[in-house]
Amino acid sequence: MTPNRRTLLAAPLALCAGGLAACDRFAAAEPTPPVVPPLKSVSPAPFGTAIKAMQIDDPDWVALARANVSQLTPEWEMKMEYVLANGLGRPNFDRTDRIAAFAQANGMAMHGHTLIWYSQGAEAFSGLTGAAFDRAFDGYIAAMAGRYRGKVRSWDVVNEPILDDGSGMRDCHWSARYGHDGYILRAFEKARIADPQAVLFLNEYNQESVPAKGAQFLKLVERLLKAGCPLQGLGLQSHLWIDIPEGVIAAYMRKIGQFGLPIHVSELDCTLRTDRRLDFRGQADRLAAQGARVTELASAFAALPKVQQFAFTVWGLRDTDSWYRQGAKDDGRDKPLPFDSFGRPNPIAAALAAGFQD
């Protein structure tokens, strides 16, 4: 993720400065790390994590990944912001090539993330119009998906096309040229040509937690399928927070599962942060709420028909790898990922194992 996207995702969870720190005096002592089996051994589908190329140089991260992970998603280096940092004529594939080689060497699958995203590409495509824009759009997808043909299992073809409040589709440089549904259709069609074997996903966040957004996503999927789009899978990012009402996540999983398409829980994390102005819950209570939400998600995924259980991916392994733990607001107390900074299981890891085995 990039800072812009982090801002969007964090919007429902906006905290006053020091919100968690103000509650420290109410926090209970940290619990003893739970005993959890390797997550890939209990997941009903390939268990994945986001990866940055630099983590390949961290032996502790590598050992943790080898023990728990069977699929990798490049967190940033496969996005247009990095690939086209030097312009359309000089794409950067170096870091993604390294991740692909690491995945292959360690017997891990790879999920491509992402070909077309409203948040990126405006600078690289600036000044292009008409047929030149079309050639660049089609050529980028052909180059990316073609380069990793046979190396990736699947692609997030289009990422986050819906407005945060679910009131409609996002306006962007892609929709300005092709229309809101048109750029999605074109991207999927070109990706299908570039890699006929990869499973093609539409990826979005907050579907399960913002009802209007979830409804808009379902309507979009219906329109795309009716239009003949080669859409083959649905990505549920699942950036969760602890105050999502009980039952909402499972209910949405049932709704999205009705299309019969493979489901990828593609970017799971669960922050302990809250948008409550006054919240006197201690750390133990926050962790209990977090565990309930994560167990609900894992259980709902495990309840899908086997053919729809495509993969289950966390957006990082260790808390300190998380985008929630970056920047000045980090007080060191958030535990959004399965392992702590020392690679010890967090309560989330136990919640995942419990949900998978329900």
pTM above 0.85, yes or no: yes
pLDDT at 179 exceeding the cut of 80: yes
- Confidence (pLDDT) at 10: 43
Reported as a pLDDT band with limits 50, 70 and 90, residue 32 is confident
Stretch 333-347: mean pLDDT: 96
The structural domains of the chain, with segments of one domain joined by +, span 46-356
- Confidence (pLDDT) at 31: 67
pLDDT at 19 exceeding the cut of 90: no
35, 111, 126: which is closest to 266 by C-alpha? 111
3-state secondary structure of 332: coil
Average pLDDT over the chain, rounded to an integer: 92
Token duo for residue 269: 């994390």
Superfamily of domain 46-356: Glycosidases (3.20.20.80)
Length of the chain: 358
Q: Report percent pLDDT > 90 for the chain.
A: 86
Task: Please state, in angstroms and rounded to a whole number, the distance separating the CA atoms of residues 223 and 258.
Answer: 15
Token duo for residue 113: 């993330």
Rg of the chain over Cα atoms, rounded to whole angstroms, equals 20
Task: Please state, in angstroms and rounded to a whole number, the distance separating the CA atoms of residues 343 and 345.
Answer: 7
Let me know the angle formed at the C-alpha of 159 by 85 and 196, rounded to the nearest 5 degrees.
90
Q: Which residues pair with 34 in a beta bridge?
A: none
Token duo for residue 46: 């390939």
Stretch 92-121: mean pLDDT: 98
